[in-house]
Each structure stands twice: as C-alpha cells, then as structure tokens.
C-alpha cells in the first residue's frame, strides 16, 4: 500500500473533524441564541461535501488494508461523532504504518 492512501485519509479525517466541531458550534449559536443561520447553512454544506470525500478515502484505505466490513463502518461513522475522528485517525495510522513499511521492505527485496 502506498503512503499517499494513508495521507489522503488523514487529511480528510482532520478536515472533517474540524468542520464537524465548527458545525456543532454554529448549531449552538443558531438554535441557542437565534444567530448565524446563514453561516450554519454554509458550514453544513461544506461539512457535507468534506464528509462525502472522507467516506471515499476511508473506503479506499479500508479496502487496501483488507479490513472487515464492521471496522470499515466504524471508521466511516466516526466522521459523524464530534471528536471521535481524531482518536480513530490515530489508531488507524498506528495500524496502517506497519503495512506501508512491510510493503516497502517487500519492494526493496524484489
């Protein structure tokens, strides 16, 4: 597996997680203080687009890492839970980096 697959996933995981936190803050202002409805709309649309890209990259990573459907589903759902994507990204990186190193070693031996 190439390192770029992991890098794409990590970038989108962080971007999606940050946008989700911004969206949660906007929702508090919209429904709690009746302010920022237009900003909330823009942020929700941006988060939606980023989340769809995140799903595509998470699927790509999980298929190349040969993970089970349940694990893939958990990684995808973590993008909808505030702060979860930060922790899931860290565990994913820890699991995938040895696969990248093993792939490099196999390529170097060949």
Q: How confident is the model at residue 107 (pLDDT cuts 50, 70, 90)?
A: low
Cα distance between residue 20 and residue 71, in whole Å: 21
pTM, two decimals, is 0.84
pLDDT band at 100 (very low <50, low <70, confident <90, very high): confident
Query: For 20, phi and psi rounded to 5 degrees?
Result: -65, -40
Does residue 90 have a pLDDT over 60? Answer: yes
pLDDT in tens, 40-85: 999 999 999 999 999 999 999 999 888 899 999 999 888 888 888 8
């Amino acid at each position: 597996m190439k390192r770029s697959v992991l890098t794409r996933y990590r970038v989108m995981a962080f971007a999606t997680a940050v946008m989700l936190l911004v969206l949660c803050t906007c929702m508090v202002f919209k429904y709690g203080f009746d302010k920022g409805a237009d900003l909330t709309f823009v942020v929700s649309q941006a988060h939606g687009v980023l989340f769809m890209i995140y799903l595509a990259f998470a699927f790509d990573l999980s298929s190349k890492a040969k993970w089970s459907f349940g694990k893939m589903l958990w990684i995808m759902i973590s993008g909808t839970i505030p702060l979860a994507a930060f922790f899931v990204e860290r565990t994913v990186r820890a699991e995938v980096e040895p696969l990248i190193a093993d792939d490099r070693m196999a390529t170097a031996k060949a």
